[in-house]
Structure 1
Amino acid sequence: MPDYESYGIMVKEYSENQIAVIGEWIRKNIRPGRLISEYDSCALKQLLEIDTGICLTNDTVKEAMLLAGFRPECSRDENWRFRILLVREINENPNPFFNWLMGAEYADGTPEGDFISDVSHDFRFPVFADHGIIRGYLENEDAYEETLDAFERLWAEYEK
């Protein structure tokens, strides 16, 4: 059983807006599941940080999951595991570029079409981010030059 008394980190260390963003991310991206997810609290922390830009601790993610109604399978472990499914609520995502990208129509097999397909399946893609963060993410992932070029062409088209 988790030690609920040791929590309260979010209220003390994060603004109301940040707490709302964290809660909204969980609401949009996590559903109850039957099986224990491969995404433990540490992995969820990384996804949350990438998507929201809010720097979190593992304990903050644990608290946020508790507040969202998810209980850990083994609370004695440092990284908690939950019975959850990670999903993507693409249509409600607040980033205008990401929304535009998911609605863009490019033929399969083109660099742009391949980029869009890859992004729609990449749960680590920084969906809340701006151009610089997305470009940095792609470079960090050792994206091919063709991928970076496709991203730049798509971004230019988006900004028109």
Structure 2
Amino acid sequence: MLDHEFHGKMVKEYSENQIAVIGEWIRKNIRPGRLINEYDSYAIKQLLEIDTGICMTNDAVKEAMFLAGFRPECSGDENWRFRILLVREINENPNPFFNWLMVEEYAEGTPEADFITDVSQDFRFPVFADHDIIRGYLENADAYEETLDAFERLWAEYEK
């Protein structure tokens, strides 16, 4: 049986615009799946926050997923798990740098090409962020100096 104690908090705690952004993010990034995904409600909360900048509670994410039609596999747990596929709608992503990065071509094996490949596969990469947030993300992830240099070269080229 589902614990509905939290139900309705999302509507009270977030603006209509924020609720629309959250719903749109779920619609674009999460699909029904056959297997239970490794990303539980807390991990989804973190991804959603990175992408949208909206800081949500775990309960609000549970409610949003429930309202979007996703049912938890074990609703008694603190962090819910769902049968979902997590995808990334790169072509509709609003960050101009990220969009630019995804269409740039560099010779295979170059630091720039490696950086682009890593970013395209990193679901935690702050795709909606500006230079300073991306740089901070890379530094917090203990990126190699070569990776940081590649990012700076790519950012400088993007700004031209």
In the superposition, the TM-score normalised over structure 1's length comes to 0.96
Q: What is the CA-CA distance between 1:100 and the residue it aligns to?
A: 0.6
Q: Give distance in 1, aligned partners of 2:116 and 2:83.
A: 29
Partner amino acid for 1:96?
P
CA contact 2:3–2:76 (8 Å) conserved in 1? no
CA deviations over 1:62-99 (Å, ceiling 9, x no partner): 01101111000111111000000111111111111111
Partner amino acid for 2:28?
K
Aligned twin of 1:32: 32
> Kindly, what percent of the aligned residue pairs are identical?
88
Q: What is the CA-CA distance between 1:158 and the residue it aligns to?
A: 1.0
Q: Give distance in 2, aligned partners of 1:2 and 1:92.
A: 34
Q: What is the CA-CA distance between 1:5 and the residue it aligns to?
A: 5.5
Q: What is the CA-CA distance between 1:106 and the residue it aligns to?
A: 1.1
Q: Give distance in 2, aligned partners of 1:116 and 1:154.
A: 9
Partner amino acid for 1:105?
E
**How much is the aligned-residue C-alpha RMSD, in angstroms?**
1.1
Structure 2, unaligned runs of 5 or more: none
Aligned twin of 1:88: 88
Aligned twin of 2:148: 148
Q: Secondary structure at the match of 1:44?
A: helix
Aligned twin of 1:136: 136
* Alignment: residue pair count: 160
Structure 1, unaligned runs of 5 or more: none
CA deviations over 1:26-81 (Å, ceiling 9, x no partner): 11111100000111001111111111111111001001101111000111111000
Aligned twin of 1:7: 7
Aligned twin of 1:110: 110
Q: Give distance in 1, aligned partners of 2:149 and 2:90.
A: 24
In the superposition, the TM-score normalised over structure 2's length comes to 0.96
Q: What is the CA-CA distance between 1:6 and the residue it aligns to?
A: 3.2
Q: How does 1:70-89 map to 2 (within 5 A)?
A: 70-89=70-89
- Give every structure 1 segment of 4 or more consecutive aligned residues whose post-TM-superposition deviation is greater than 2 Å: 3-6
Q: Give distance in 1, aligned partners of 2:154 and 2:16.
A: 34
Partner amino acid for 2:59?
D
